[in-house]
Homo-oligomer: A and B are copies of this chain.
Amino acid sequence: MKNVTIKDVAKAANVSYSTVSRALSGSPEISADTRERILQLCKEMNYTANTVARAMVMKSTKLLGLILTDVNNPFMSELAYHIDRQARARGYNIILCNSSRNPDQERELFELMIGRQVDGVMLFPSGPESYETLRPYLDRIPTVFIGENLREVPESYVSVGNYRGAYIGVEYLHSLGHRDILYFGRRRGSTTHQLRAEGYAAACRDLGLVPQYCNNTFPLTSIKYGYQLAKQLFTQKPAYTAIFAATDTNALGIMQAAEERGIRIPEDISLLGFDNIRDSGLPRIDLTTIEQPKKMMASMAVDSLLDKIQSELAGYVHRILTPALIERSSCGPCPKRY
Give chain A's interface residues, CB within 8 Å of chain B: 1, 3, 46, 48-53, 55-56, 61, 63, 66, 70-72, 74, 77-78, 80-81, 84-85, 88, 93-98, 100, 111-112, 114-117, 136, 139-142, 223, 227, 252-253, 255-256, 259, 278-279, 282-285, 312
Contacts and interface: CB of A to CB of B under 8 A. Distances in A.
B116 A52 contact: yes
Contacts of A140: 1, 3, 46
Contacts of A278: 72, 74
A117 B5 CA distance: 12
20 contacts: A1-B140, A1-B141, A3-B114, A46-B136, A48-B111, A49-B115, A51-B117, A52-B56, A70-B81, A72-B78, A72-B278, A77-B77, A94-B95, A95-B95, A96-B96, A223-B283, A227-B283, A252-B282, A255-B283, A256-B283
Contacts of A312: 1
Contacts of A78: 72
Contacts of A279: 279, 282
A211 to B, nearest CB: 27
A52 B61 contact: yes
B93 A283 contact: no
A71 B61 contact: no
A96 B117 contact: no
B71 A80 contact: yes
A277 to B, nearest CB: 11
Contacts of A252: 282-283
Q: State how many copies of this chain the complex holds.
A: 2
A266 B139 CA distance: 58
A272 B170 CA distance: 39
Contacts of A94: 95-97
Contacts of A50: 115, 117
Contacts of A51: 115-117
A36 B95 CA distance: 33
A96 B97 CA distance: 10
Contacts of A259: 283-284
Query: Which of A71, A94, A142, A252 is the most central at the interface, judged by chain B CB atoms within 10 Å of its CB?
Result: A71
Given A51-B115, A81-B72, A97-B93, A282 B285 contact: yes
Given A50-B115, A85-B98, A285-B285, 13 more contacts: A3-B140, A51-B116, A52-B116, A71-B77, A71-B80, A72-B77, A77-B77, A81-B98, A84-B97, A93-B95, A95-B95, A227-B283, A252-B282
Contact of A71 (B55, B84, B115, B227): B84
Contacts of A52: 52, 55-56, 61, 116-117
